[in-house]
Chains A and B, each alone.
Chain A
């Protein structure tokens, strides 16, 4: 239990652990990118063919 909590405590103390905080922010940015891609994008390649919207 202690082992699994240690990294969380590490993140929760930004004064000493700025790198961890930066990696966590970067993770959040990539999660946002996934949400944007899933909700907005229409697929352009189908079964090996380019289904280009406009080429």
Chain B
């Protein structure tokens, strides 16, 4: 229970810090005098570093203990937040965000620790509860983070977060038992190099394409490096004894489906979050011209819906089936998204309604997909499978801000010529 309580409060702290960042992106863009594409790197670098560190820290957790690595990643996250909060330049901001990304590995480590504490039959309900807590985290963090950000500046949100992470770290030290599962394996540095080269090239191509043009030799080379690098990475991972990412697990159809599902959902989530933020905060007639605080308040219904739907989904899943729940959830999300494409013709209450429908669908998909994954692999492979899932979610998520930034830069560039 202590592990669950700490995970829940840890989620709240991270949601508070990260939740306020997206609504503050337009302000940061103005403060730092950077383009929308540059601003998207503030999210992309965090997710990119999170992807790589989740893969490595999981292994280090198996070697040296998950509790120890959890505490180390929490300290790295705090240092990252400190640098981000005091950043005076775009470069310094990116360094801080990169360190925060490394610290993001604390989430899969904490999940792995929790999973060791519960019997399999309780896992769907516990996952429903944790998903609901993401909703609580959002409901609390979005208006609070937005309020602090608007009244004291976006840097202040980071300054208020350090004491909480230090207390959390102490709680982990005092109340969490060190994992009994040890599975020392060497780290696949070649795999890490291939994956990071491929991902960085792909992200540079998508982010910088509006500036240089899609046919620019640099952009084409980056796209080729991304595709080739990823292909070589996958091939290499199938040949080594201790791969960075256990791609052989993907021969299990349910694991493959769950991972493609989370990659698509991760991509969709970040793309949508950035689109909603700019839609709500952009001046009229393009957006609704809301303040950061008002935009944060507008997102509360989404969080409340998630808080209600996720535990219900966790309970009904055994009766209606995970596959059906995923399809129903994705269909509901599509209805919400299609409604959002018509926002320019209706008022704010219509936008809130559409966002709430979307949130209900997303919650169902999340609960369904994680259950499909957890019940499709053996317990000894659980850590590897959830680590792989984090990697796929982040790979998908890394594209969201890049594509959003790319589209918005394209839009802003064209606006200059009007």
Contacts and interface: CB of A to CB of B under 8 A. Distances in A.
Given A37-B323, A41-B326, A29 B264 contact: yes
B327 interface: yes
B257 A27 contact: no
Taking chain A's interface residues, is the majority helix, strand, or loop, or is none over half, making it mixed? helix
Interface string B329-353: 0110110011011111100000000
B261 interface: yes
A47 B379 CA distance: 24
Contacts, number: 157
B376 interface: yes
Taking chain B's interface residues, is the majority helix, strand, or loop, or is none over half, making it mixed? helix
Contacts of B361: 30
B411 A15 contact: yes
Interface string B385-418: 0000000000000000001100110110011000
Given A26-B268, A33-B365, A44-B254, A20 B322 contact: no
Contacts of A26: 268, 271-272, 275, 337
Determine which residue in A11, A42, A48 has the highest number of CB atoms from chain B within 10 A of its CB, and name it.
Answer: A42
B267 interface: yes
Contact of B272 (A16, A23, A55): A23
Determine which residue in A10, A15, A29, A36 has the highest number of CB atoms from chain B within 10 A of its CB, and name it.
Answer: A29
B267 A22 contact: no
Contacts of B322: 41, 43-45
Measured as residues with beta carbon below 8 angstroms from the partner, the interface class of chain A is: 35 or more
B312 interface: no
B52 interface: no
Given A22-B271, A25-B403, A15 B410 contact: yes
Contacts of B278: 18-19
A41 B258 CA distance: 8
A10 B344 contact: yes
Q: Which 5 A-B pairs have the closest CB atoms?
A: A40-B257, A22-B275, A15-B414, A18-B411, A29-B268
25 contacts: A10-B344, A14-B407, A15-B410, A18-B407, A18-B408, A19-B343, A20-B341, A21-B407, A23-B337, A24-B341, A27-B341, A30-B264, A30-B333, A36-B257, A37-B330, A38-B323, A44-B322, A45-B318, A45-B320, A49-B318, A50-B120, A52-B120, A54-B377, A55-B375, A55-B379
